[in-house]
Amino acid sequence: MDKTANQVAPKTAIGKAVEYSINQWAKLVRFCENGELAIDNNRAERAIKPFVIGRKNWLFSNTSSGAHASAILYSLIETAKANGVDCYTYLSHLLTELPKEDCDIDALMPWCFAKA
């Protein structure tokens, strides 16, 4: 990169890209130092895609309580997915257990449900 930086004009698109790469070099090679780090953020991008697609649908949450309820539901569904739990089964279990007086909220977390 240092050699290339000397061979391209700094104001050109390639020159700006080379300069950016040099300035971000420590961050760019971080994944080489730790094999557990990903080279890209595709996993995060895929995780938020349903929210981006559904953004127009949320315009119909015309009350703050409706928007709050939607946020709770989306959080439950995405957390269940992240823990490898079937969303329908998990939500059915939640709706059965939550009304009970002796309900243990900690035991209802998706990471606990996945182990059950």
Q: What are the structure tokens assigned to 29, written together?
A: 């090679």
pLDDT at 73: 87
pLDDT at 116: 54
- Contacting residues for 15 by C-beta, under 8 A, at least 6 apart: 5, 8, 9
- What is the Cα–Cα distance from 63 to 60, expressed in whole angstroms? 9
pLDDT at 56: 72
pLDDT in tens, the chain (116 residues): 889 889 999 899 999 999 999 999 988 888 788 888 888 888 888 888 877 777 777 777 778 888 888 888 888 988 898 889 999 999 999 999 999 988 888 989 988 886 65
pLDDT at 1: 85
- What is the Cα–Cα distance from 116 to 107, expressed in whole angstroms? 10
